[in-house]
């Protein structure tokens, strides 16, 4: 784990796990953010329940798939995006 990430974890509140590198070092705040470890760009919704990858800078998540239209990162077994409803083409993932 990145050294700066370790220091932040010890002195601050609970952190979220990055959906791309799986390091627990993402601040739980809504809006656009970047992982301090892998530099992946994504956005967290206002409830900190949904994560949207940057569709202009797509990077495949470590777990699940990313919708090419809206960017929602979701479980790999979905046939349709849970947010926008588009059919997920697993050939791209």
Confidence of residue 90 (pLDDT cuts 50, 70, 90): low
Domains of the chain: total:
1
Instruction: Tell me the residue range of the domain where 15 lies.
Output: 3-92
Q: Given the structure tokens 């409830």, which residue do they identify?
A: 47
Tens of pLDDT, residue by residue over 40-53, are 999 998 887 889 99
- What 3-state class would DSSP assign to 52? strand
Contact partners, residue 39, CB within 8 Å, separation at least 6:
none
Contact partners, residue 69, CB within 8 Å, separation at least 6:
55, 81, 84, 86
- Report how far residue 48's alpha carbon sits from residue 50's, in angstroms, rounded to the nearest whole number: 6
Tens of pLDDT, residue by residue over 5-61, are 434 434 445 898 999 999 999 988 889 999 999 999 999 988 878 899 988 887 888
- What 3-state class would DSSP assign to 20? coil
Q: Is 48 left (phi over 0), alpha (psi -120 to 50) or beta?
A: left
- Global pTM value: 0.71
């Amino acid at each position: 784990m990145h050294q700066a990430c370790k220091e932040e974890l010890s002195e601050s509140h609970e952190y979220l796990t990055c959906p791309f590198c799986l390091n627990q070092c993402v601040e739980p705040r809504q809006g656009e953010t970047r992982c301090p470890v892998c530099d992946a760009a994504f956005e967290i919704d206002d409830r900190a329940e949904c994560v949207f990858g940057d569709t202009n800078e797509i990077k495949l998540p470590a777990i699940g798939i990313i919708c090419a239209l809206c960017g929602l990162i979701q479980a790999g077994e979905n046939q349709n995006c849970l947010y926008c409803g588009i059919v997920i083409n697993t050939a791209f993932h």
